[in-house]
Amino acid sequence: MLRTDVAIIGGGMVGLTLGHALARSGLTAAVIDRESPALRADAGYDGRASAIAYGSRRILEGLDLWSGLADGACAIDDIRVSDGASRLFLHYDHTEIGYQPLGHIVENTAIRRVLIGAVDRSPGLLHLAPATAATMSYEGAAAAVTLADGRTVRAGLVVAADGRASLTRAAAGIAVTEQRYEQTGIVCTAGHARPHRNVAHERFLPAGPFALLPMTGLAEHPHRSSIVWTERNDLAPAMLALSDDAFGAEMTRRFGNTLGPLRVIGRRWSYPLGLLHASAYVRPRLALVGDAAHAIHPIAGQGLNLGLRDVAALAEVLVDAHRLGLDLGSPIVLERYERWRRVDAIALIAVTDGLNRLFSNDVVPVRVMRDLGLAAVNRLPGLKRLFMRHAMGTVGDLPRLVRGERL
């Protein structure tokens, strides 16, 4: 029998960040991960890079995790949004709202390695990996998680951080609204001859958005960018089957020759795209975070940021309750978390779904109207600054960690 304040099911980037946040704030936490740390930290496990918004960077700084990521993080100083070959565009320049970058691009492998490497510096954090949660029961003053190897973790609260296919959520009977897009996300790293100058590009094409996100250079590849290419499901397999040269030519055809010809560096990955939203984020002694609660289209690069804001809000709610001597798994404590997070999540689901539907077509009247819309926003400084602050994750009722304060 292992006893802890909070048992977190799922040791991905959101789950393990929550474990660190709680363990560094006077609580004990056990992170139960079915994958081994070595597998999570392997470069072949995940080829994606994540956009870490400025607000999310503050969360990681507040948990003393950002210093391990800073050297490999590429600043996003500008964002350029365009619609196919149209000459009208929207340009976000970070100097219009301050001196901080809008965000950073960090490889997921680097994030996982820092989170795993920091476990030894969080004495209140127990990392059970590989370990599988077999059954869960919620009775009386505690919850019990029985592992496949026979051990039992007893905690005041269970947190589901086990992704969009969350078994923890399903076992609790929480329904979801789910929709699969007829799109596949193709991800790779691209090299190019000219520097990206810390500009992130989002180019809307009929099949979906094509994003080129700036990355730090390496000795053998001084100019690198992360590619997030949304393609129709029926065309994606053919694109993935192309040779590296042909694949690079297809990327260049979509993005243009601004940075010179694009070439593939390393492997390519593909992921089905869709949205998901849980009907409830909490039950007695259970809370959902990250993709277990909501999953969105990568069109704005906000998926991980949404999950990290869940972490900041739930950690604050639990730390405050602990200091007041309250039961961490009580409905009164958990309802505060749900009220806090639902508005942000629903708004972002609506925005990303709406943008994907609006721009993933080639209907001429719609294309003309959206191009005029991009150009109009570009000429309205007040509105543009508001959109930039939203992209930075610094708008709304912000948790202390997002505001740059300690828990």
Q: What is the pLDDT of residues 190-223, one digit of tens each?
A: 999 999 999 999 999 999 999 999 999 999 999 9
Identify whether 101 is preceded by a cis peptide bond (ω within 30 of 0): no
- β 142-147/133-139 pair status: antiparallel
pLDDT at 326: 96
pLDDT bucket at 89, cuts 50 / 70 / 90: confident
pLDDT at 38: 96
pTM across the whole model: 0.95
CA 378 to chain centre: 26
pLDDT at 47: 87
pLDDT bucket at 366, cuts 50 / 70 / 90: confident
> According to DSSP H, which parts of 210-288 are helical?
236-240, 244-255
CATH of 2-73+102-179+275-358, one of 1.25.40.10, 3.50.50.60, 3.20.20.240, 3.40.50.300: 3.50.50.60
List the chain domain ranges: 2-73+102-179+275-358
Are the C-beta atoms of 273 and 297 separated by less than 8 Å?
yes
Are the C-beta atoms of 255 and 216 separated by less than 8 Å?
no
